[in-house]
Structure 1
Amino acid sequence: MGIHSTVLRGLFVGLCAFTALAHAEIHKSHAIAMHGEPKYSPGFSHFDYTNPNAPKGGELRLHVIGGFDSLNPFVSKGRAAAGMAYLDNSYLYDSLTVRGEDEPFTQYGLLAESIEWPDDRSWVRFHLREEARFADGEPVQADDVAWTFDTLMEKGKPFYSYYYAAVERVEVNDPRTVTFHFKASDNRELPLIIGQLPVLPKHHWQDREFDKDGMLPPLGSGPYRLAEAKPGKKVVYQRRKDYWAQSLPVMKGRNNFDRIIYDYYLDETAALEAFKSGRYDWRHENNSKLWATAYRGPAFESGKIVTDEVSHGNPWGAQAFIFNLRKELFQDEILREAIGYAFDFQWSNDNLFYGQYKQNRSYFDNSEMAATGLPSKAELALLEPYREQLPEAVFNKEYQPPKTDGSGRPRENLRKASMLLKEAGYQLRDGQLYTPDNKPVRFEFILSSPAFERIVLPFSRNLKALGIVANVSKVDSSLWVERIQNFDFDMIVYRMGQSSSPGNEQQEYWSSQAAEQPGSRNLIGIKNPVVDALVDKIVAAQTREELITRCRALDRVLQWQHYSVFNWYSDQYRLAYQSRLRHPELGKYVGMDAALDTWWDSTAK
């Protein structure tokens, strides 16, 4: 009787599972959106932000500061040559899907002809195009996809192990079909970010060491091939006339230049002078002083060089002076808050930036994810379980960075900082501030760009008024990269960029696990269980509304922990370029550097 009951029960459970599977809706489409439906229907002709009639030809010459010693952008070792991006924006490597730049987050098939997934997004399946080819003529197959994923997870940059950590296994179904199975079904973003995977040729690497052979000429399936690479001098890409995807709707109007050349310069001063003399074609200017004073002369007056300010809707994220919390000195939140009072943004904006910037106050600035005002009911519901672990201000006060009178010597703010420090047990003796355990408050601020010296030195002088010694040191770009990757710094200037649809990458910015991994983007060294929990909730958001609410809750926690001293941002791109260059109207969420593949040379035949 017992055996009979067990058998019946097993049959019943199996029948229920089969019935649930039979009723589970499986989606199959040309595109997949994070939330809602894709903007472009099957059979669309081209993206609205491209010009399908753009002429092919001519060349685009760009500049880079520093040097390179690697042609492999996927590993941490070395500095990769310009143009070899390691996600879904590369001249050499096609990805499974490409992003629609006028939507918050939608991926359209590139190597993948179609995408398949269940309602709960617990897996995603890609059906590869039969015509997809690497530059040597070999077909792109499912085995290449699986090999790429496994290799990047094992030997690639730490970024990949965080970004794709929720992938349980990869299954090759047939030569042109590959399925990614996930550890949990509460991560809506995973099918999309898997689609961003650049696919590498297994046959090219099978007899070589992926993480050691850094100068091996690359082989990809993308629109360009590497034509020349001279370390310290230049990198040249040549458009492939036999590019397999050039007629696909997702590629129409893109990759228009026959040659793309990156020239390397030792510093920005030399690079700017070279631009003004016509030695390269395009600049995205980030220095407000240069924008206000240097873009003048005959080439500008004659119209040979055009200057343009293009508004955008991209989240800025945050630029800030960040603390390295791995240093014992900066474990004290009171000290971090007090140091923030020494920065006079208003003076910097008036006297150094020509009034071109807005003050950063959020880790999601210039977006609807930024926390403003008091927490909403939905935010409070997320934050309430952690009340005892958070500052009370998170719940009842809007965060605002310290305001000043713009004098450059924010005396009132410095008084507030002195009071905070005194109440916390810090002592000022002979002009030197000491911690409660009698250690001098001294640290090093390292810079890789001389342009920041004029900004950091006034900050350092104000800190000295508090008895804090902040020595400012300049290092060359190669040493800078090495020190940052190994968290060998006290304080630096750092930009924490954000996307229009934050997700898995938040773990690499803020998670406790990332804080221990050299090369990760958690440069601050945040190890906070509340932050970990909120990041997990962001990754698991099921609707756009949930995503926005959860990002705002995380933002409030980060703001009130005083992990950084906020700087500034702009909602405009400042561009200068040769007048022969043209561009279409740009998508709302398009990144300016990424948008270059939609530009063209008007003199090309």
Structure 2
Amino acid sequence: MTSPRVATRTRQMDIRPKVLGAIGLSIGLLLAATGLARAEDEKIIESHGYSFFGDLSYPADFEHFDYVNPDAPKGGEIAVSAPGTFDSMNPYSRKGRAGRYSWMVYESLLGEMPATGGGLPADQIGESYGLLAERLEYDEGKTWVIFYMRPEARFADGSPVTAHDVVFSHNLFLEQGLPSYAQAVKKRILSAEALDDHTVKFTFATGISRRSLIDQAGSVPVFPKAWYEENGARLDEPRLDAAPGSGPYQLDSYDVNRRIVYKRNPDYWGKDLPINKGRYNFDTIRVEYFADDTAGFEAFKAGEYTFRSEGNSKRWATEYDFPAVNKGWVKLEEIPDLTPPTPTGFVFNLGRPALQDKRVREALSLAFNFEWTNESLQFGLFKQRHSFVENAPHMAQGAPEGAELELLKSLGDLVPADMLTEPSVRAHESRAKRLNDRRNLRTAMKLLDEAGWAVGDDGMRRNAAGEKLVLEIPYPSSSSPTLTAVIDGFAKNLVAMGVDARPDKVDSAQYTLRNRDRDYDIVFDNYRAFLSAGTGLMQMYGSGEADFSLFNPAGLASPLVDAIIERSLVTTTKEDEAAALQALDRALRYERIMVPVWYNDKSWVAYWDQYDHPENLPEYAVGVLDFWWYDAEKAAKLKSDGALR
């Protein structure tokens, strides 16, 4: 699915509304009056939620999601950390650096929001349930959808959430949102119309895939039209006075670059909905900002914030032995994570001429030594990542066969011959005893020689024009010492190849700007894993928006990848969808657009012992801000023991 994108990186998507009829008209008369009368043989699907294959796990009368504690108490505070700085509470602008969780105050028709929120269950893939919309209906061919909204829905200022707000928000993203989002959506959604105050219809283009149409329309964050008009606000500008939302949490206060506080709205309109039972249990969510990860960890030890997700293996292995842990005040958990790990690594900017040669990219990849990194810097706690969907059922394994092979063969000359017969590309192996694996460096140097980058008398690689192979690798000053060491080690091996590698630690704001402007040769960044087919795949990996999409940091533009995505979008069974996604993983790995690094199949969390969570956590989310809760008795004991103030 195409996403509007929270346009801030730390580690995501015009026709004017036409108001028809009078309020007193019945929907049947209204549809007839606007040319929407249905043929008797037209099959109309009505539902409380949406799945492309129509297989919703929760029935219309479900009481709550299976994994929540419906009796979880409400109250208390959870405090978390964020690195670097922020100067905006508008998460949808390319400009500025948005505050963490600033997207959280908004809701959508189907609740499809970043992370786990709204009507998106954390135990299923590809399913969403009505949030602002109580139900929807659409024709079997998915050429249109009508959402029937909940009349009781309210923004935090008490004003009703209407179909006019939905249409306004949809058009706002098309006019002022990210170009990659607007370009993709305009091709698919022809119009959005408010049929009355609480009924909205989207009409879709014909001759395109039916994927990511209904869920796209239902996932747009809804803003109050009146607030934007009264304040002259724009979606593409950073601002600290962001629009009120309809969600359970709203912005309470902020201190720029230091702190953000969100408070649960006691008058939240949707608190009794089945999809919200047992969720959004904290009264307050506090975000504390720190210049770097070391300062953040010291603050956690001192109890300045109370929940920490740990990504630093060295710290997890060696530094969680401070007094609060030994006294039992701080709990440590390793929570199994069944989602495919985020495809993170050193991403090549394919806009740079030197990096357009795949031999060069393969050679540079050999500078990363996973085995040494894991043993020397990460205490052996990580596994090597090979795939864009590591450990998922549709991860490409070995040579293609069966339905995947047939799909690839059907694409003709787009598919290189060796892709049909050779095993899928895997990350290279290295010796763990030393950073410099001479075997890999020799292979890399041969590849660079073949690509026309010869070694000069000064030991530096130059092309036929005498230009040095210079590679800038910017990274934020808030990075952990371990990541800094990883980047430095990668650069040292590049230098050993004769490459002029230049790691560049910059402040967070500058890094954000360079990242958005693609002002780098190599960047430590990520793509997104994919669990199902959707038009968002084009935004991440497709050619159409490759020049400017924030989702595509390499700028990949591959006709083969485009063709596979297109095939995935027209699959009609889960088996064919899986074959297409497997082929996509294979093709992406063949392109060598990034150096895959590591992954962890567990989530490491540490928290002061005043929280609880369901015994059986869902497969696809830790969900600390979603379905954990505050234990007042445990909190009182920590205070009586002098652990927390």
Instruction: Provide TM-score, normalisation by structure 2.
Output: 0.86
Aligned counterpart, 1:6? none
Distance 1:20 1:129, change over 3 A: closer
User: Of 42, 50, 67, which aligns to 1:49?
Assistant: 67
Q: Distance in 1 between matches of 2:198 and 2:41?
A: 27
Q: Is the Cα contact below 8 Å between 2:72 and 2:629 reproduced in 1? A: yes
Q: 2:338 aligns with which of 285, 288, 313?
A: 313
Residue 440 (structure 1) aligned to one of 468, 481, 485: 468
Runs of 4+ deviating beyond 6 Å: 17-20
Give matches, 1:221-240, under 5 Å: 221-240=246-265
Separation in 1 of the partners of 2:107 and 2:586?
38
For 1:206-221, list aligned pairs within 5 A.
Answer: 206-207=229-230, 208-211=232-235, 212=237, 214-221=239-246
Kept in 2: contact 1:370–1:555 (CA 8 A): yes
Which residue matches 1:460?
491
Q: What is residue 503 of structure 2 aligned with on the other side? A: 472
Residue identity matched to 1:304: W
CA deviations over 1:449-482 (Å, ceiling 9, x no partner): 2432211222222222221121111011111110
**Distance of 2:70 and 2:620 partners within structure 1:** 17
How far 1:317 sits from its partner (Å)? 3.8
RMSD: 2.1
Note the C-alpha offset of 1:61: 0.9
Letter in 2 for 1:401: A
Count how many residue pairs are aligned between Structure 1 and Structure 2.
583
Distance 1:328 1:589 in 2: 42
Indicate the SS of the match to 1:512.
coil
Find 2:519's aligned residue among 481, 488, 498.
488
Residue 74 in structure 1 maps to residue 98 in structure 2: no
**Quick one: percent identity of the two aligned structures?**
34
1:191 maps to which of 187, 205, 214: 214
* Residue 78 of structure 2: aligned partner: 60
Query: Does structure 2 conserve the Cα–Cα contact (< 8 Å) formed by 1:311 and 1:573?
Result: yes
Distance 1:269 1:18, change over 3 A: closer
Map residues 258-297 of structure 1 onto 2, 5 A cutoff. Answer: 258-297=283-322
What amino acid sits opposite 2:142 in the alignment?
Answer: R
Q: How far apart in 2 are the matches of 1:20 and 1:381? A: 39
Does the CA contact (< 8 Å) of 2:248 and 2:264 recur in 1?
Answer: yes
Residue 119 in structure 1 maps to residue 119 in structure 2: no
CA distance 1:531–1:312, shift in 2 (3 Å): same
1:551 alignment partner in structure 2: 581
The residue type paired with residue 258 of structure 1 is D
Label 1:436 to 1:546 Cα distance change in 2 as closer, same or farther (>3 A): farther
- 1:106 to 2:127 alignment: yes
Equivalent position SS for 1:514? coil
Secondary structure of the 1:164 match is helix
1:473 is paired with a residue of what secondary structure?
strand
- Deviation digits for residues 105-152 of structure 1, max 9, x if unmatched? 111001101011122222221100121111222211111111110001
Tell whether the 8 Å contact from 2:84 to 2:289 is kept in structure 1 after alignment: yes
Once residues 59 and 159 of structure 1 are traced to their aligned partners in structure 2, the CA distance between those partners, rounded to angstroms, is 37
Superposition deviation, residue 57 in structure 1: 0.6
Partner residue, 1:405: 431
Label 1:544 to 1:204 Cα distance change in 2 as closer, same or farther (>3 A): same
Match among 387, 410, 425 for residue 452 of structure 2? 425
Say which SS state the counterpart of residue 125 (structure 1) adopts: strand
Whether 2:166 is the aligned partner of 1:145: answer yes
> Which stretch of the first structure deviates more once superposed, 298-307 or 577-586?
577-586
Partner residue in 1 for 2:393: 368
Partner of 2:190: 168
Paired amino acid for 1:142: A
- The 8 Å contact of residues 393 and 560 in structure 1, kept in 2 or not, is answered as no
Alignment of 1:243 onto 2:268: yes
Q: Compute the displacement of 1:586 (Å).
A: 5.6
1:538: how far off? 2.7
Match of 1:600 among 611, 629, 636: 629
Shift of 1:272: 0.3
Does the 8 Å contact 1:188/1:541 carry over to 2? no
- Asked whether the 8 Å contact 2:363–2:444 carries over to 1, the reply is yes
Distance in 2 (alpha carbons) for counterparts of 1:466 and 1:117: 59
Residues in 2 aligned to 1:586 and 1:117: alpha-carbon distance in whole angstroms: 35
SS in 2 for 1:198: coil
Q: 1:60-95 deviations in whole A, cap 9, x for unaligned?
A: 11111122111211222211112112xxxx244454
In 1: Cα distance, 2:528 partner to 2:556 partner: 17
Aligned to 2:443: 416
Contact 2:568 2:581 in 1 (8 A): yes
Other structure's SS at 2:202 match: strand
2:561 corresponds in structure 1 to: 531
Q: Hey, what's the Cα distance between the residues in 1 that align with 2:36 and 2:332?
A: 63
SS of the equivalent of 1:395 reads helix
2 CA distance for matches of 1:66 and 1:259?
Answer: 22
Q: Does 1:178 align with 2:200?
A: yes
Asked whether the 8 Å contact 1:107–1:195 carries over to 2, the reply is no
CA distance in 2, matches of 1:413, 1:389: 30
Distance in 2 (CA, whole Å) between partners of 1:180 and 1:236 is: 36
Give the Cα–Cα distance (whole angstroms) in 2 for the partners of residues 19 and 482 of structure 1: 50
Q: Which runs of 5+ in 1 are unaligned?
A: 1-16
Shift of 1:244: 0.7
Q: Structure 2 vs 1, CA of residues 424 and 237 (structure 1 numbering), >3 Å: closer, same or farther?
A: closer
CA shift, 1:542, in A, is 2.6
- Which residue number in structure 2 is paired with residue 575 of structure 1? 605
Q: Distance in 2 between matches of 1:122 and 1:536?
A: 18
Shift in Å, 1:428: 1.5
